[in-house]
Amino acid sequence: MTVWKLAWLNFKNGFKNYLSLVISMAFTVLVFMNFQNLIYSEVFQVLGEHNREYIEVLVQVVSFVLACFMFFFTGYATSVFLTRRKKEIGTYVFMGLSNQKIGKLYSIETLFTGLTALGLGIGTGILTAGLFQMILVTLAGLTVEVHFFVSAKPVLVTTVIYLVIYLFFVLKGYANIARSSVLSMISAARQNEYVRQNRLILLVKAVFGCGILGMGYSLAVRRGGPEILGHAFEAVVLVTLGVYLLFGGLIPLCFQTLAENKRFLYQKERILWVNRVIFRMKKNYRTYAIVSVLILCSVTALAMGFAMRERYENIIQFEQVYTFQLLSSRDDLADQAERIIREYTDIQYQGEAPILTLDTSDIVTGDFYNHYAVLPYSAVRKLAGSVSLEWNIPEPGDDEIIRVSRLYLLSLLTDRSGRQVTIGGKVYRQTGETSEPYLGYLQEQVSFYMVSDREYERLRPLGQELYTFNYKISDPAAFQAVKERLGELVGDRDGEYTARVAIDPEKNDLDWVRVLYPFCIFMFLVFLMSSGSMMFMKVYNDAFEERERCRVMGRMGVEESVLGRAIAWELGMAYGLAFLVMAVSSWFSVRALANMMYADLTGVNVVSVLVVFVILLFCYGLSVAVYKRNSR
């Protein structure tokens, strides 16, 4: 029998063992290929060149993340299977096969698995390309007609990237087997030693783990200026390391301590599952840690998606609060402008307010803007009333100031309390911040500060006072005509200056942000599915190891229901602990994100954790059933 034929037979007979690996890999390939396909698809053409360019960059970023993930996941999956196969193929040593031949056998077998996953992924990817685009467009809330479209290039790119990654790990596996000693291969199955770990080492790991995790959490939610980007990076590293040490230190330490309390341990099947958890933790803690971190990433990705969508909608609402804004040195333009607009359409609402523009040399804030202006409290309150915007701001004191800011998609400035602003040599304490769009689009261009009316009067000689006239029209179709007519007012004549802002109610230059939301959902699904399959693969292999122990207990008269309950508890602990660590960590990561996105993401956090719970519950149920079947 040739090595190829033997490998094929092994692959065919053991296909069930590879199924979870094949499905997970195929799903990753499917998503990767579909993302690549978006670049060549016409679906985003209608959004215009500007949006298409942004989306292409986003797709490339997502593809890069997916490729990195594919690399990591392939490495993990092949190493799990290498360990398992090593035990089985080690027996070929007795048939006189050299290590190189055994390595070749493994490589060919693994290649069959990889190619099956690739074929399945590309095949389903092509079949679902239309559906994928449709889901994406629907989730993004775009009104685009989707046609079935698959280009050869994404298929080729996906195949090449996947094969390069896969072949790398196949060759790594080959080298591993070729270099293994015969003894290590044939004895791989009986390495059940060192069940319990050294308590002191566990204690050290636990202390470090808790400390590092605590530091990570505190860095994640720490507010500050631009340095929070560095904090966020440090938090990611620390939380990952902390979770790793938690599963490698604190959790086994707790279980070992519990197992030493025999009055706790000798409670029916508890004796079985607590001991099994201790035994498995030594071997599986890395997997549990990886799964926790992966799900944490997926929850954060989902929260990011939701936050982006909310942000996008708010920004659009912010920009669209007025259709036209006039900024003039004249204070008597209101009637003239209203008359022009009413020639074409009704006015939904309108309002006016003075602003005091300052020279950048007269103001020190810590921010870096080109334009600064001061607003009088009562005029802004009147404007808010005219356009029905929320108003719950108390009048600032003489040395107080309130920032009237814009909405940011993402901000690195998360600490805004107690800041100081110096205007004309006087220091004001910033007591609050509002991002209600009182001055609409102008708020995005100018850095506004609101002061008391008395302070405004005092500051007046410092800058130039201008007047804003703001209008929201009822009929968007009249936009162009009104814009042209209002253009007649614009100019710089006889020392009088007038400018106009016109926001097209149908403008879509931020549509690319909407695509982020479905992208994040897909990333969430990829991470979550992979985490589930990693746990499943581990459980699948563990169940085979448990077979002999279950046989012994069956002979001792231990009922299947008792074994079943012990299995349910053991796996419940594995899934439950990974979920718990993730849920706690996600509170910090989502909070950090919420600080940067100026959003309340608590609801998103709870919902995404619940979604993860439901999916993990499904994986858990499946794992318990498979474990019971395989361990019999």
Contact positions vs another protein (CB under 8 A): 192-193, 195-196, 259, 262-272, 275-276, 278-279, 549, 552-553, 555-560, 562
Cβ 557 to another protein shortest distance, Å: 3
Residue number, 130 or 564, with CB nearest to another protein: 564
Residue number, 280 or 403, with CB nearest to another protein: 280
Cα–Cα distance, 487 to 77 (Å, whole number): 65
Residue number, 259 or 499, with CB nearest to another protein: 259
Cβ 85 to another protein shortest distance, Å: 22
Residue 448 contacts residue 399 (beta carbons within 8 Å): no
Cβ 558 to another protein shortest distance, Å: 6
Cβ 202 to another protein shortest distance, Å: 16
Residue number, 187 or 192, with CB nearest to another protein: 192
Residue number, 105 or 272, with CB nearest to another protein: 272
Cβ 113 to another protein shortest distance, Å: 30
Cβ 87 to another protein shortest distance, Å: 16
Cα–Cα distance, 631 to 541 (Å, whole number): 10
Residue 268 contacts residue 564 (beta carbons within 8 Å): no
Positions of E strands within 420-570: 420-423, 426-434, 447-451, 464-473, 491-493, 496-502
How far separated are the first and last CA of the chain, in Å rounded?
A: 32
Residue number, 16 or 555, with CB nearest to another protein: 555
Cα–Cα distance, 198 to 111 (Å, whole number): 40
Chain center to CA of 505: 31
Q: What is the 8-class DSSP label of residue 197?
A: P
Q: What is the 8-class DSSP label of residue 473?
A: E
Cα–Cα distance, 231 to 234 (Å, whole number): 5
Cβ 268 to another protein shortest distance, Å: 6
Cβ 259 to another protein shortest distance, Å: 8
Cβ 560 to another protein shortest distance, Å: 8
Cβ 563 to another protein shortest distance, Å: 10
Number of C-beta neighbours around residue 247 at 10 A: 25
Cα–Cα distance, 509 to 51 (Å, whole number): 6
Strand ordering across the sheet containing 400-404? 363-364, 420-423, 426-434, 400-404, 447-451, 372-376, 347-358, 464-473, 324-328, 496-502, 491-493
Cβ 245 to another protein shortest distance, Å: 23
Residue number, 42 or 560, with CB nearest to another protein: 560
Cβ 185 to another protein shortest distance, Å: 20
Cβ 571 to another protein shortest distance, Å: 15
10 Å CB burial of residue 523 (0-12, 13-18, 19+) is buried
Residue number, 83 or 98, with CB nearest to another protein: 83
Cα–Cα distance, 280 to 549 (Å, whole number): 14
DSSP string, 366-405: SS--S-EEEEEHHHHHHHHHHTT----PPPP-TTEEEEE-
Residue number, 120 or 258, with CB nearest to another protein: 258
Q: In 128-198, which ranges are continuous DSSP H helix?
A: 129-140, 152-179, 182-186
Cα–Cα distance, 122 to 128 (Å, whole number): 10
Cβ 570 to another protein shortest distance, Å: 10
Residue 274 contacts residue 261 (beta carbons within 8 Å): no
Number of C-beta neighbours around residue 266 at 10 A: 9
Cβ 625 to another protein shortest distance, Å: 20
Cα–Cα distance, 137 to 114 (Å, whole number): 31
Residue number, 240 or 541, with CB nearest to another protein: 541
Q: Following CA atoms 23, 24, 26, 29 in sequence, which dihedral angle do they give, to the nearest 10 degrees?
A: 170
Residue number, 122 or 574, with CB nearest to another protein: 574
Enter the tokens of residue 6: 């033997």
Residue number, 180 or 275, with CB nearest to another protein: 275
Cα–Cα distance, 330 to 500 (Å, whole number): 13
Residue 523 contacts residue 298 (beta carbons within 8 Å): yes
Instruction: Tell how strand 420-423 and strand 347-358 pair up.
Output: unpaired
Instruction: Tell how strand 347-358 and strand 372-376 pair up.
Output: antiparallel
